[in-house]
Amino acid sequence: MSRKPFVPDPRFTKLFPDVSGNTVNGLGETEVRRPSPFFWHPPSKHKFGALQKEVIDYQRVSPAIREHFSHEAPRGPKPIERAPVEVQRPAEEWSSQIKAFALAHEGDLVGITPMSEAYLYEGYELPHRWLIMIGVSMDHDELSQAPSTYENPAAAVEVARQYNRASRVCRELCNYILAQGFEATPWPGPFASALNMIPAAIAAGLGQLGKHGSMINRTWGSSFRLSAVSTDLPLVADGRDDFGSEDFCTRCQICTKACPPGALSDDKRMVRGVEKWYVDFDKCIPYFGEAMGCAICLAVCPWSKPGTAPRLAGKMLKRRERKSQP
Ligand code: SF4
Ligand code: SF4
């Protein structure tokens, strides 16, 4: 059945600046460089500020969404004073301890990667040596109600609710580290700041990049949100987790076919010197705005269906093992 073509609402398209979002993102550039501050950064830092404001204002018309993004929403404690003396422990011990702490304080995923310039937007510097990446799962029944509307904003509310949970985890963990005498800064979403979280979360072993431009985790699929803590606490890095979702994506077209404005492509694109799956920003954002954050591509991804990701990961790893046998 052919899909009715999506016609973008001028409410959003009229606010596009005189530059493509794909150009700002470095689509087609062959040199490796840091990403430019863009959507979800302070409007003064990029040319899409007016469009970003309209997307946010349109979402906040819904009282349920507004409530979850309000200043009263439960987003965790403020940073405490750093303790004057550092508690000395081996890096392995600290790593186990901070993971146990994050998982005991509402986190579902946690991984560690060394800080790299590659994870920082242009114009930002961070003095810390480590990034602790955190993931919190979303309720798939709520997410599956995407696209959100004023009458049924369930998916958008779930996204906001889980961003608040991710915020609580990183703020609690940050204070735990400060209480041990080490520097730490929490990085909650959804608004971006210094950190480009997806590449850091991939390096920390939280999952792989999917064709929909978001991550796929071997337990939660694409049904999770990120936050982070940067710190000087001595830690041990986790490795990447390759469980075969890249191969799966190569053969799957569920998200490309489900995306109403056709913003996803079956082919990888060159972006700032790296070939990867890419979301066409200019096509996605008007629909994203109208659908209050959209998330259709995350909801339809087969890895996101509860209980499916571990099974698919097992299948993909077995297939790889069979192929590697002589
Ligand atoms: S829907 Fe299919 S192609 Fe898209 S990210 Fe999920 S597995 Fe990959
Ligand atoms: S968020 Fe919506 S519009 Fe954007 S790529 Fe995903 S499905 Fe397409």
Exposure b/e, 241-262, CB count within 10 A at least 16 = b:
bbbbbbebbeebebbbebbbbe
Note the ligand closest to the C-alpha atom of 297.
2
User: Nearest CA to 177 among 61, 77, 275?
Assistant: 77
Write out residues with Cβ below 6 Å of ligand 2.
212, 259, 261, 263-264, 279, 284, 287-288, 294-297
Report d(CA 134, CA 211) in Å as an integer.
22
User: Nearest CA to 35 among 231, 199, 212?
Assistant: 199
What is the 313 CA–ligand 1 centroid distance (Å)? 13
Q: What pLDDT is recorded for position 185?
A: 97
Please identify, by atom number, the ligand 1 atom nearest to the C-alpha of residue 277.
5
What is the 260 CA–ligand 2 centroid distance (Å)? 7
H or E stretch at 317: helix 308-324
- CA-nearest residue for atom 2, ligand 1, is 252
Q: What pLDDT is recorded for position 2?
A: 54
Q: What confidence tier does 1 reach under pLDDT thresholds 50, 70, 90?
A: very low
Residue 31 predicted with pLDDT over 80 = yes
Digit-coded pLDDT (tens) for 310-320? 999 999 999 99
Q: What confidence tier does 3 reach under pLDDT thresholds 50, 70, 90?
A: low
Question: Residue ranges of the domains in the chain?
Answer: 10-324
Report d(CA 303, CA 122) in Å as an integer.
33
H or E stretch at 157: helix 154-179
What is the 217 CA–ligand 1 centroid distance (Å)? 12
Q: What would the mean pLDDT of 148-154 be, rounded to a whole number?
A: 94
- CA-nearest residue for atom 2, ligand 2, is 294
Digit-coded pLDDT (tens) for 265-324? 999 999 999 999 999 999 999 999 999 999 999 999 999 999 999 999 999 999 999 988
Please identify, by atom number, the ligand 1 atom nearest to the C-alpha of residue 248.
7
Please identify, by atom number, the ligand 2 atom nearest to the C-alpha of residue 261.
3
What is the 210 CA–ligand 1 centroid distance (Å)? 6
292: exposed, middle or buried (C-beta count within 10 Å: 0-12, 13-18, 19+)?
Answer: buried
Please identify, by atom number, the ligand 1 atom nearest to the C-alpha of residue 212.
5
The predicted model scores a pTM of: 0.96
Residue 115 predicted with pLDDT over 50 = yes
Mean pLDDT, rounded, of the chain: 95
R_g over Cα of the chain:
20
Write out residues with Cβ below 6 Å of ligand 1.
210-212, 248-249, 252, 254-255, 300-303
What is the 229 CA–ligand 2 centroid distance (Å)? 28
Residue 16 predicted with pLDDT over 90 = yes
Q: What confidence tier does 190 reach under pLDDT thresholds 50, 70, 90?
A: confident
Q: What pLDDT is recorded for position 294?
A: 95
Digit-coded pLDDT (tens) for 211-266? 999 999 999 999 999 999 999 999 999 999 999 999 999 999 999 999 999 999 99
